[in-house]
């Protein structure tokens, strides 16, 4: 709905029905039930095709959906005949934060996508998972859209390294993110909710005491710290290529960047 240039509608012929999302990334079951109950069964209304969740939730700052919540959505959807799709771009981060195998997360949805690059550290690549017939159809649609790649072996090799070697390292990214949030919590002009850092994403906001956001982002970039403007704040993402020793360096760079 927010990203991908509207491709889901322009190319997929699918309309979106956004529902309110809580700060922890959950869509209340009550909101789903209201949307389900208010869809008339006639030619004027688009039928509901599936329920889509995101775990971890990017726009909520990497919040992690619990297995209990995902199970409740799955059970609700099954009762009403809906499949559940997971936007799992950072699903391996969710599994690491929950302390469970990725299979435990994926078992609670009908289909999912996950990125080999985000979190897992491969240069490029995403994977779609689900029932065999679903994946076969996805292969055909990808070809129709020009997404086929003949010489994909090198990329696949990188993806296999990411899948085999990186998941055990993700917990360190999460601890680094939490350490960074703690380190910047007392910087004048910066507001961060340390208790909202579930995984590898830190969202910080600037007060009126700080320089304009674009200037802060540029100052950080000039000092070798890459962040991005995000919603009404700044997003910092901790990953495979950032180590623990760089946490205090990034915090100090931010301290200098917000000083007038």
Give me the pLDDT at residue 61, please.
96
Cβ-Cβ contacts under 8 Å for 184 (sequence gap 6 or more): 190, 192, 204, 251, 254, 255
**pLDDT under 70: residue ranges of the chain:** none
**Phi, psi for 234 (deg, rounded to 5):** -130, 135
- What's the CA gap between 69 and 2, in Å, rounded? 23
Render pLDDT for 66-119 as a digit per residue (tens, 0 to 9). 999 999 999 999 999 999 999 999 999 999 999 999 999 999 999 999 999 999
Whole-number pLDDT of residue 151: 83
Bridge pairing between strands 233-237 and 201-206: antiparallel
pLDDT of residue 218: 97
pLDDT at 45: 84
């Amino acid at each position: 709905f927010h990203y991908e240039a509207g491709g889901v509608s322009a190319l997929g012929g699918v309309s979106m029905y956004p529902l309110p999302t809580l700060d922890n990334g959950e869509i209340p079951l009550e909101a789903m039930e209201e949307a389900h109950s208010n869809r008339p069964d006639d030619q004027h209304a688009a039928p509901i095709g599936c329920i889509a969740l995101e775990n971890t939730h990017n726009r909520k700052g990497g919040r992690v959906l619990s297995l209990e919540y995902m199970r409740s959505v799955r059970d609700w959807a099954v009762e009403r005949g809906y499949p559940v799709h997971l936007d799992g771009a950072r699903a391996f981060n969710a599994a690491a934060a929950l302390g469970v195998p990725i299979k435990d997360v994926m078992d609670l949805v009908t289909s999912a996508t996950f990125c080999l690059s985000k979190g897992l550290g491969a240069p490029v690549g995403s994977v779609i998972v689900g029932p065999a017939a679903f994946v076969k159809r996805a292969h055909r649609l990808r070809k129709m859209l020009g997404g086929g790649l003949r010489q994909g072996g090198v990329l696949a090799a990188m993806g296999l390294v990411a899948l085999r070697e990186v998941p055990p390292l993700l917990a360190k990214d999460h601890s680094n993110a939490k350490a960074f949030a703690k380190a910047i919590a007392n910087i004048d002009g910066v507001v961060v909710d340390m208790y909202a850092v579930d995984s590898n994403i830190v969202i910080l906001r600037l007060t009126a005491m700080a320089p304009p956001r674009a200037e802060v982002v540029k100052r950080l970039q000039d000092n070798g710290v890459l962040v991005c403007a995000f919603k009404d704040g700044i997003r910092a993402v901790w990953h495979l290529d950032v180590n623990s020793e760089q946490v205090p360096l990034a915090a100090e760079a931010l301290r200098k960047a917000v000083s007038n």
